[in-house]
Structure 1
């Protein structure tokens, strides 16, 4: 279908080249003679005439409709007239018949805006005013929901985002919760990554981590959390709090859009990681890679803009703010402490005592005085139990029957700390020594993890199982050899030993015949020890002393 500009150009060309009349041009191009005259008069087609409003049937009811719309100026937002309600009232109260719904809807849509503007109210259509931000002056912060595939399954987490308004440089970190500890740690990570603090303010929603109460009035008054005030005072910046609800979302539209953009570009598909710490390392690399992108309408890249902004940021304080929360729970009889509706294990010897807890966004650090006695990854699930099998080993040593059903063992299996090598050794030890004794041998092996890397202990288990040994000291020797990186036997072996280096059992060496070749050791050709020389001491007798001569007064 030809455009009108092309049509006018062809009409003008035919008139100029062939000299055709208006009638002939109209017949050739299948248009009205009026269109031909318009083309000959001007190369630009005339603007289409605006359609005039013709609402003959609605004219008698215009006054009533306007009255209904004006009454909405003082009515609650959810109790204002809709087009359907206006039509119903016109029929009931004014006997309007034959009135078209589409005609009424068009009139109401136009007239409602006019009445609202005449009353001096806020425009119904949201209008956004472009803003110019000064370098290093403002930042914006927000949390966004995020799903992550962790070893425990698909978990809901939260993406912390700080966005600088001038350059668009952003910092992202993932936390298991939106707690105040996560809020503060996100700020510290962002300020450290950016190398400074915005000089004017940072914009926020009315988060519980920062705002205790919203005081409605003419100004943006808030009752801030005391710990948040301490944090702001430490880093010397002010907070700007947006209007509550969706009405204030546009006031920090930069970070709202940035959170969605980053999630779509760097977190799709759902990331699969072993821990949130591993994911945060990936996010830090993605932040630096985004320095090369260019925001729409800007000539410079994000990195180039940030290079201008970074020297103008307020320097970081010399002292680092501690974002963790200090608590003092008591250890219950199950060797657990209660922290934020979750239970965490500690060594059993601390049962009944109060310990000091350092609660952070992603970890729980338990201290006895200044000594760290336990460290756990923080759980975001209410009522969860996070137990470490190592904390119960001394108890299980004299209660071996409690190990098979222990919750700590179930969690150790789930996280991979209790491996298939442990399972095989435990089964072999119970078969060889019985349930109780075999379980104690396993516990002795588990105690090795306190002093040796897990990979060396697992290598020791594998070596012991290869030769059918089920003693913990065998595992200990082989683990130490693995730790030293020994590749050759320490003692020569016989020519008939086709297996090469063999496992050494200290217990067998002590209890077996010392003249036999055991565990790959050379024969002991030394004679057996004798105590005959000591027996000679028993045969010696001292000579009896001479009798005393009392007559001479001599005493021998």
Structure 2
């Protein structure tokens, strides 16, 4: 551009000849004449698209076939480009990942059409944590079932954390946050969330939020500011939205199988650490784990863990049972007919009278089942000894010889 301006200045203002300018610049006279006719700067135009490595030996056809098969599956079961690449490698493909990635990207663009534009977001270290739920399918104890997965992502370092639950009720939200902050070892200044009823009870026309009292208690305990996204604007927490899709293809396709939910969650913690060894998307010379170590210094100290339960007052039935979420749990017989406090945690049920814990059970997620502690009913056997034969609490109850007689009142 600068040389074109100089040539036009020499000839059009100073009156120099084309021949003398050609000698001074080393350019041909035809090139100089072209510059004189057109005052636009010269630009390079590619005559042909750049050469790229292509899928060969019919793998392009095979990849398109796999992609079309995935389009017929539910969205959460579709494979990522990485998974498709691994499938091709298992079938003999020896090329690199890049052609596969480009091919899949072009197929998705063809399928989806033009995309929507967004404004890039920036988060300082220790500033924000994003949260979202996803629904996945897993095999637990040999049975295929749905689970809800709580996703967390520190926005600056991109460090992920996930934990699975049978549902996404209030107590599971509270438990998920306690686990996530313990995993990160500190507290960010804000948390960016959607507007579920377990966290936001009301959204006004002016977009003001009324947060759920129990969720607000969690926020106050850790001194975090809750920030609810604008409805239908998931891009405001786009990092965790993208994480849901990425981890679905990475962890839940094909479906993982474990004995129980605890085994699944123990396993899910490992990829959270392994994925931190990937290059950070903004600071490519450093890993996510390295950036996280810097961000950890900006997090506030964790302090005492929040007691994440949901409490309600229930009446003890004459059968010494209280009900919660379609199941029944026993309490000591002396509390029959009284009102007690039931505290529901993500994994246990605690019954409280006054300041005393009177019973505790493992949380169950069946329907219409009674769970007994036989010792709760032993005092009643003094007046109803025949119940020992057919009483539901004593079915399959194995006791050492003489242990029951010693516990019976005299």
Q: Same fold (TM over 0.5)?
A: yes
- 1:211·1:225 contact (CA, 8 Å) conserved in 2? yes
Structure number with the higher strand fraction is 2
Asked whether 1:183 is paired with 2:173, we answer: yes
Aligned residue among 197, 204, 210 for 2:199: 210
Q: Aligned equivalents of 1:257 and 1:272: distance in 2?
A: 24
Residue 307 of structure 1: how far off its partner (Å): 1.1
Q: Aligned equivalents of 2:143 and 2:115: distance in 1?
A: 44
**Which consecutive residues of structure 1, in runs of 5 or more, have no partner in the other structure?**
1-42, 49-123, 410-417, 419-442, 449-471, 475-556
Residue 393 of structure 1: how far off its partner (Å): 6.1
Asked whether 1:310 is paired with 2:262, we answer: no
1:260 corresponding residue in structure 2:
245
Aligned residue among 129, 132, 140 for 2:122: 132
Residue 286 of structure 1: how far off its partner (Å): 2.9
Q: Aligned equivalents of 1:267 and 1:130: distance in 2?
A: 29
- Give runs of aligned pairs for residues 23-62 of structure 1, distance below 5 A: none
Per-residue CA deviations over 1:73-118 (Å, capped at 9, x if unaligned) read: xxxxxxxxxxxxxxxxxxxxxxxxxxxxxxxxxxxxxxxxxxxxxx
Aligned residue among 395, 402, 414 for 2:390: 402
- 1:175·1:362 contact (CA, 8 Å) conserved in 2? no
1:482 corresponding residue in structure 2:
none
1 or 2 for the larger relative contact order (CA 8 Å, sep ≥6)?
2
Q: Aligned equivalents of 1:376 and 1:259: distance in 2?
A: 33
- 2:320·2:336 contact (CA, 8 Å) conserved in 1? yes
Question: Do the aligned partners of residues 155 and 348 (structure 1) sit closer, same or farther apart at CA in structure 2, a change above 3 Å counting?
Answer: farther
- 2:147·2:167 contact (CA, 8 Å) conserved in 1? yes
- 2:157·2:280 contact (CA, 8 Å) conserved in 1? no
- 1:363·1:378 contact (CA, 8 Å) conserved in 2? yes
Structure number with the higher helix fraction is 1
1:425 corresponding residue in structure 2:
none
Aligned residue among 312, 320, 332 for 1:327: 312
- Give runs of aligned pairs for residues 89-488 of structure 1, distance below 5 A: 126-151=116-141, 153-199=143-189, 201-217=190-206, 220-245=207-232, 248-296=233-281, 298-316=284-302, 318-380=303-365, 383-388=367-372, 390=374, 394=378, 398-402=386-390, 406=392, 409=395, 443=397, 446-448=398-400, 472=401
Give the CA RMSD over aligned residues: 3.3
Question: Do the aligned partners of residues 289 and 240 (structure 1) sit closer, same or farther apart at CA in structure 2, a change above 3 Å counting?
Answer: same
Q: Aligned equivalents of 1:312 and 1:44: distance in 2?
A: 49
Residue 326 of structure 1: how far off its partner (Å): 2.6
Per-residue CA deviations over 1:273-308 (Å, capped at 9, x if unaligned) read: 344233322222332222212355633211011011
Residue 165 of structure 1: how far off its partner (Å): 1.1
- 2:351·2:358 contact (CA, 8 Å) conserved in 1? yes
2:87 corresponding residue in structure 1:
none
- 1:330·1:355 contact (CA, 8 Å) conserved in 2? yes
Between the two proteins, the alignment pairs up a number of residues equal to 293
Q: Aligned equivalents of 1:369 and 1:154: distance in 2?
A: 42
Per-residue CA deviations over 1:471-495 (Å, capped at 9, x if unaligned) read: x469xxxxxxxxxxxxxxxxxxxxx
- 1:161·1:170 contact (CA, 8 Å) conserved in 2? yes
- 1:376·1:386 contact (CA, 8 Å) conserved in 2? no
- What TM-score comes out, normalization by structure 2 length? 0.62
* Larger Rg, first or second structure (1 or 2): 1
**Which consecutive residues of structure 2, in runs of 5 or more, have no partner in the other structure?**
1-43, 50-113, 404-410
Q: Aligned equivalents of 1:336 and 1:197: distance in 2?
A: 40
State the 4+ residue runs in structure 1 displaced beyond 6 angstroms: none
Q: Aligned equivalents of 2:332 and 2:137: distance in 1?
A: 33
